[in-house]
């Protein structure tokens, strides 16, 4: 029985890590368009010359 516990525990951990990793990649990126539209008037262009 002890010979079976370690491999099955290791297998369960690997499968859990795989599914947790897949879930992290499946999340979508946040939408920043509203933030950009609100902050756009406050953005200024500063240029320098020698």
Walk along the chain (50 residues) and give the pLDDT tens digit of each residue: 567 677 888 888 888 877 776 666 656 777 888 888 888 777 778 888 88
Total domains in the fold of the chain = 1
At 34 the pLDDT is 85
Q: Which residues, 6 or more positions from 9, have their beta carbon under 8 angstroms from its beta carbon?
A: none
- pLDDT given at position 30: 78
Q: Quick check: is 17 in a domain?
A: yes
At residue 13, the pLDDT reads: 87
User: What is the span of the domain harbouring residue 10?
Assistant: 2-42
- Provide the phi-psi class of 27: left if phi over 0, else alpha when psi is between -120 and 50, else beta: beta
With respect to residue 48, please indicate whether it lies within any of the assigned structural domains.
Answer: no
Locate tokens 């999340």: which residue? 27
How far is 19 from 27, CA to CA, in rounded Å? 13
Residue 24 located in a structural domain: yes
Its pTM surpasses 0.85? no
The predicted pLDDT at position 33 comes to 87
Query: Does any domain span residue 47?
Result: no
| pLDDT at 19 (0 to 100) | 76
């Amino acid at each position: 029985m002890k010979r079976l516990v370690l491999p099955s525990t290791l297998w369960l951990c690997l499968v859990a890590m795989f599914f947790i990793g897949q879930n992290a990649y499946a999340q979508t990126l946040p939408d920043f368009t509203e933030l950009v539209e609100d902050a756009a008037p406050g953005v200024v262009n500063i240029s320098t010359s020698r």
